[in-house]
């Protein structure tokens, strides 16, 4: 257990001031959009998580306040308030107002931390109109307040009865005798929005609750008329997260859990195969989600492939010496979590926001630990080991079948270097960054789109009817389905192990379907295909949904295209005494080419919804629930959300 007396002003080191932060905020938090806003909250939360990793904090409270401020409280040691030698200022003031000042630069206060190299608190302070910090240490309460990163006064000792925490109607807070409380007000002149998204905050908290087992999180959203609260605590840590990833899926075996510390690096891995074909892998370094992977993920993948192959050979499961399992085969139906903890000073992230781990020495270390752990699991659980081997062997057979099917098409020149599908009306532009492909529902709408488009940069590919549900479809079935094969050929980047996004022929791929239930179903099927089989297109930000109008409202010669029922109601309320006519568009085919261009295809007027995956775990769960084989979860979802459905009957 880390003690308060072990964490003092001697642990605080200072590198530079705060001046650059407000001038170039994106350099420090990645962006000034909604993601950058939540990066600020993450920094403050992770400072409290670091107190837990240091063996101190047991509880963290996260509160979204009505005035668009956020409060984070922990019951850790509390930031030191004594004077820093050479600065004649409180350690608290130094930490909150000096860039690169904190207890994470070799001062010995933190071996493991997730804060942004110690700049987190001061950066958030600089980007806030107001901020206050209360510290509870050694039976005393200290407070300092700031404006745009500058202290309003010196650190002052206060009475506990004057604590700002008492303004929150949360009984537990009155019992906190040690720790740090921070409230900040994001600057609306810096950020595009200062309104926190409760779903993004919950994901952030839930992730950390899984990774740091036995740490209580208490989340309060005070903004609704009836405030919401959620409490999270996971005894099982990352095993609980793997079970969550496999929710509503048929699993092949019990979770495999591996944990070992070597050279001050703690490696923790949990994995479990399901009977699906999609991979769901999450990786972390000191509670930071490394969304782009890194050397720890590479080491894990190499160990998994090697261990399964070695076990297959050992028990004589392969029919010949040339039989083997590839890395792609081990990904099919895999849910896994890789979490490592290491000294903050030794971490080499690629990029300021830590998307990828770059430490080369971590790869062989993780590989050795995971391979040893898997070998032990296989020896002790032979029946489950065989289930894993059989799962991967089936994936290998499917891969060979898919390659044969794809090669057959390649021989006909369909995928690469051959003729484009006959239904495709291609554009004249050859630069992918300028070119657009509209994937259109039905030949009728396709005809209107072909006539109404700007053929210089807009290509049209009509689809005939509903497409294959590809949630559980392997490549051989996909390339046999005519509409999907045409789409793959038109896109030009291949599919499966030959995918090359640099060969993608269009950097705007726009799904355009009718504004009705059938159209939404087709759009969902297409989104499933792209998410499961062409995920790189989604990750690159090249996938969009077109939003066609629902109505045309006419007042004499005056015409309005309307995209929602709310918009229609507002317009009609202002039409008292006017004669009007209203036309409901049931399908794209009802619009003539000029109307389709003006409403849905003209870049000056159209509305496009960009598809991205902010929460891969949630997206995976939704696709599994909506498009998978298990009926009860889908039935429950329909029952829960039936009242929200806008049915056009």
Task: Give pLDDT tens digits for 570-602.
Answer: 888 778 667 788 888 877 878 889 989 988 999
pLDDT for residue 110: 47
DSSP 629: S
| CATH node for 238-403 | 3.30.230.10
In Å, how far from its chain's centre is CA 364?
27
- Coil, strand or helix: which one is 33? coil
pLDDT for residue 440: 93
* Cross-strand bridge partners of residue 229: 220
DSSP secondary structure, 376-438, as one string? HHHHH-HHHHHHHHHHHHHHHHHHHHHHHHHHHHHHTT-SSSSPPPTT-B--S---TTT-EEE
Q: What is the mean pLDDT of residues 605-622?
A: 79
Residue 379: which pLDDT band, with cuts at 50, 70 and 90?
Answer: very high
How many residues does the structure list for the chain? 649
pLDDT for residue 643: 59
Question: Cβ atoms within 10 A of the Cβ of 30, count?
Answer: 17
Average pLDDT, the chain: 86
Q: Which of 518, 520, 539, 615 is catalytic?
A: 518
DSSP secondary structure, 58-71, as one string? -EEEEEE-TTS-EE
Name the more confident of 453 and 402.
Answer: 453
Residue 112 has pLDDT above 80, yes or no: no
Q: Which of 516, 520, 567, 590 is catalytic?
A: 516
Residue 621 has pLDDT above 80, yes or no: no
CA–CA dist 52, 601 (Å, integer): 53
Percent of the chain scored above 90 by pLDDT?
50
CB 496 within 8 A of CB 534: no
Residue 13: which pLDDT band, with cuts at 50, 70 and 90?
Answer: low
User: Is 516 tagged catalytic?
Assistant: yes
* Tokens representing residue 29 in the block: 């938090």
CB 72 within 8 A of CB 182: yes
Residue 106: which pLDDT band, with cuts at 50, 70 and 90?
Answer: very low
Distances (CA, A) of 22 to 17, 27, 30, 97, 195: 12, 10, 13, 13, 19
Residue holding tokens 């793997």?
A: 242
Terminal-residue alpha carbon distance, the chain:
64
Q: Where are the domains of the chain?
A: 4-232, 238-403, 412-548+609-644
pLDDT for residue 118: 42
Residue 262 has pLDDT above 70, yes or no: yes
Neighbour-count burial for 165-198, b at 16+ CB within 10 Å, e otherwise: beebebeebeebebbbbbbbbbbeebbeebebee
Question: Cβ atoms within 10 A of the Cβ of 531, count?
Answer: 24
The string of pLDDT tens digits covering residues 119-168 is 589 999 999 999 999 999 999 999 999 999 999 999 999 999 999 998 88
CA–CA dist 48, 179 (Å, integer): 9
CA–CA dist 415, 36 (Å, integer): 40
pLDDT for residue 105: 41
Domains 4-232 and 238-403 share a fold: no
At residue 193's C-alpha, the angle toward residues 611 and 564, to 5°, is 50
* Tokens representing residue 481 in the block: 């389905």
pLDDT for residue 584: 84
Predicted TM-score (pTM) of the model is: 0.70
Residue 219, judged by CB atoms within 10 A of its CB (0-12, 13-18, 19+), counts as buried
Return the HEC string of 169-219.
Answer: CCHHHHHCCCEEEEEEEECCCCCCCCCCCHHHHHHHHHHHHHHCCCCEEEE
CA–CA dist 335, 304 (Å, integer): 12
- Coil, strand or helix: which one is 556? coil
* Tokens representing residue 509 in the block: 């791929």
Q: Which of 441, 598, 617, 620 is catalytic?
A: 441
pLDDT for residue 354: 64
Residue 175 has pLDDT above 80, yes or no: yes
Question: Cβ atoms within 10 A of the Cβ of 266, count?
Answer: 15
- Helices 198-211, 238-245: crossing angle, 10 deg rounding: 130
CB 127 within 8 A of CB 194: no
- In CATH terms, is domain 4-232 a member of 3.40.50.1360? no
Q: Which of 332, 514, 598, 620 is catalytic?
A: 514
The string of pLDDT tens digits covering residues 33-69 is 998 999 999 999 999 998 998 888 999 999 999 999 9
CA dihedral 15, 16, 20, 22 (to 10 degrees): 90
The string of pLDDT tens digits covering residues 324-367 is 899 999 999 999 999 999 887 788 888 655 678 999 999 999 99
CA atoms within 13 A on the CB side of 367: 14
Residue 441 has pLDDT above 90, yes or no: no
User: Is 514 tagged catalytic?
Assistant: yes
Question: Cβ atoms within 10 A of the Cβ of 63, count?
Answer: 22
The string of pLDDT tens digits covering residues 531-541 is 888 989 998 99
pLDDT for residue 116: 42
User: Which stretches of 61-175 are DSSP H helices?
Assistant: 91-97, 120-126
Q: What is the mean pLDDT of residues 438-466?
A: 90
Topology of domain 412-548+609-644, CATH? Rossmann fold (3.40.50)
Question: Of 102-111, 306-315, 465-474, 521-530, which gets the smallest average pLDDT?
Answer: 102-111
Question: Of 78-92, 409-423, 592-606, which gets the smallest average pLDDT?
Answer: 409-423
Residue 488 has pLDDT above 70, yes or no: yes
């Amino acid at each position: 257990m880390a003690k308060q007396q072990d964490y003092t002003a001697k642990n605080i080191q200072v590198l530079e001031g705060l001046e650059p932060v407000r001038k170039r905020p994106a350099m420090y938090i990645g962006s000034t959009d909604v993601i950058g806003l939540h990066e600020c909250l993450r920094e403050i939360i992770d400072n409290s998580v670091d107190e837990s990793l240091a063996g101190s904090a047991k509880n963290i409270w996260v509160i979204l306040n009505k005035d668009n401020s956020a409060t984070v409280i922990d019951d850790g040691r509390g930031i030191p308030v004594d004077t820093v030698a050479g600065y004649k200022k409180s350690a608290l003031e130094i930490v909150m107002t000096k860039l690169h000042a904190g207890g994470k630069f070799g001062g010995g206060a933190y071996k493991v931390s997730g804060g942004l190299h110690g700049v987190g608190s001061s950066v958030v302070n600089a980007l806030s109109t107001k901020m206050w910090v209360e510290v509870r240490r050694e039976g005393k309460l200290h407070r300092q307040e700031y404006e745009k990163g500058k202290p309003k006064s010196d650190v002052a000792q206060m009475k506990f009865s004057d604590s700002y925490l008492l303004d929150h109607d949360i009984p537990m807070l009155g019992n906190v005798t040690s720790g740090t409380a921070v409230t900040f007000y994001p600057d609306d002149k810096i950020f595009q929005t200062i309104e926190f998204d409760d779903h993004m905050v919950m994901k952030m908290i839930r992730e950390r609750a899984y990774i740091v087992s036995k740490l209580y999180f208490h989340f309060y959203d005070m903004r609704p008329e009836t405030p919401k609260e959620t409490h999270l605590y996971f005894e099982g840590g990352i095993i609980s997260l793997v079970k969550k990833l496999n929710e509503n899926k048929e699993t092949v075996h019990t979770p495999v859990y591996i944990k070992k510390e070597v050279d001050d690096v703690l490696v923790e891995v949990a994995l479990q195969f399901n009977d699906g074909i999609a991979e769901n892998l999450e990786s972390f370094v000191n509670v930071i989600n490394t969304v782009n992977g890194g050397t720890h993920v590479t080491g894990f993948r190499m160990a998994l492939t090697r261990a399964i192959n070695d076990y297959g050979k050992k028990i004589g499961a392969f029919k010949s010496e040339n039989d083997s399992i590839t890395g792609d085969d081990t990904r099919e139906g895999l849910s896994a979590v890789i979490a490592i903890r290491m000294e903050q000073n030794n971490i080499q992230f690629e990029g300021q926001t830590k998307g990828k781990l770059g430490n080369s020495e971590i790869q062989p270390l993780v590989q050795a630990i995971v391979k040893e752990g898997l070998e032990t699991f296989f020896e002790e659980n032979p029946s489950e080991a065989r289930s894993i081997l059989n799962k991967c062997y089936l994936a290998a057979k499917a891969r060979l079948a898919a390659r044969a099917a794809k090669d057959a098409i390649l021989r006909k020149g369909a995928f690469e270097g051959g003729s484009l599908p006959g239904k495709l009306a291609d554009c004249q532009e050859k630069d992918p960054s300028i070119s657009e492909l509209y994937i259109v529902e039905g030949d009728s709408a396709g005809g209107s789109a072909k006539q109404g488009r700007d053929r210089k940069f807009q290509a049209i590919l009509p689809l005939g009817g509903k497409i294959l549900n590809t949630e559980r479809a392997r490549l051989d079935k996909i390339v046999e389905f005519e509409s999907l094969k045409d789409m793959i050929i038109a896109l030009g980047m291949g599919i499966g192990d030959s995918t090359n996004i640099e060969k993608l022929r269009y950097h705007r791929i726009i799904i355009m379907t009718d504004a009705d239930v059938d159209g939404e179903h087709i759009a969902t099927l297409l989104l499933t295909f792209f998410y499961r089989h062409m995920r790189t297109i989604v990750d690159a930000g090249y996938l969009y949904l077109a939003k066609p109008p629902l109505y045309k409202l006419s007042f004499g010669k005056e015409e309005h295209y309307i995209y929602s029922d709310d918009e229609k109601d507002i317009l009609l309320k202002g039409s008292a005494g006017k004669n009007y006519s209203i036309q409901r568009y049931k399908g794209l085919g009802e619009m003539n080419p000029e109307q389709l261009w003006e409403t849905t295809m003209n870049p000056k007027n159209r509305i496009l919804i960009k598809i991205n995956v902010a929460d891969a775990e949630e997206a995976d769960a939704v696709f599994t629930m909506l498009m998978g084989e298990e009926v009860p979860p889908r039935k429950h979802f329909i029952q829960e959300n039936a009242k929200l459905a806008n049915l056009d009957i």
